[in-house]
Amino acid sequence: MKLLLSLPNGEEIDLFDEGPNGMDYICQVCGEYDIPVSQLIEDYQHEPDEQKRLKIADEIRDQACFFAGEIANYDENLQQMIGWDELAEQMYQALITFARTKRTMKHTDFYRKYREIEAQEREELKKAVLAHGGEFRFQTENGGGIEGIQAPIVMAGDSHWETNCDCYITRVAIVNGFLEIYGYDKEYGNKEMRLDDIEFGHLEYIIDEIPETDEVSDVTT
């Protein structure tokens, strides 16, 4: 694990660095502290007794003071920028805040992956629409069907709706380089409106209903 602290001279130090310049090593070897600060952090997080937690916090503060003093002794420029006691307080606050923060299970950033997939969906939908001249209609302007074309149904909505719902897609257009999707509520409406919010994965359903052209049969990114 890492806990980076920015110093006034622009440098960053990792308070959990396990190397010879790290807090654990310097405090144990030079300061002769028995318990490394990384272990104190874990002890603090798992200790249910408040009085014992306060004692652990005091030991964390002691080591922060010692480590700050050691750093300041070997860096004259840093001494001009910040007092060792102020540096020690910054270290302690960083450590104790980390200790008090609830630790959660690490996992894949699925939201970022969803956004990446959505961006790819949009790009491929744009290519499909551009293959048809920049606009593709699933229904006529009067709302009638088009032979051989099936209007896709997706979960969507606009900024004024409380929730998304199943919508018929009437047309998709590229306007000034941006994708615009139009449709209406499948159950209650037939008035075309621009749909601002399409559920994750549903743009694919629109691409599925756009036929290939003589020039373009694949828009895979």
pLDDT in tens, 90-106: 999 999 999 888 666 77
Q: Is the pLDDT of residue 72 over 80?
A: no
Q: Is the pLDDT of residue 79 over 80?
A: no
Residue 30: pLDDT band with limits 50, 70, 90: confident
Residue 201: pLDDT band with limits 50, 70, 90: very high
Radius of gyration of the chain (CA): 30
Question: What is the rounded average pLDDT of the residues 15-20?
Answer: 84
Q: What is the pLDDT of residue 188?
A: 83
Q: What is the pLDDT of residue 104?
A: 63
Burial track 36-66 (b if 16+ CB lie within 10 A, e otherwise)? bbbebbebbeeeeeeeebeebbebbbbbbbb
% of the chain residues with pLDDT over 70: 98
Q: Which of 149, 143, 202, 206 is nearest to 173 (CA)?
A: 206
Q: Chain centroid to CA 100: how far?
A: 22
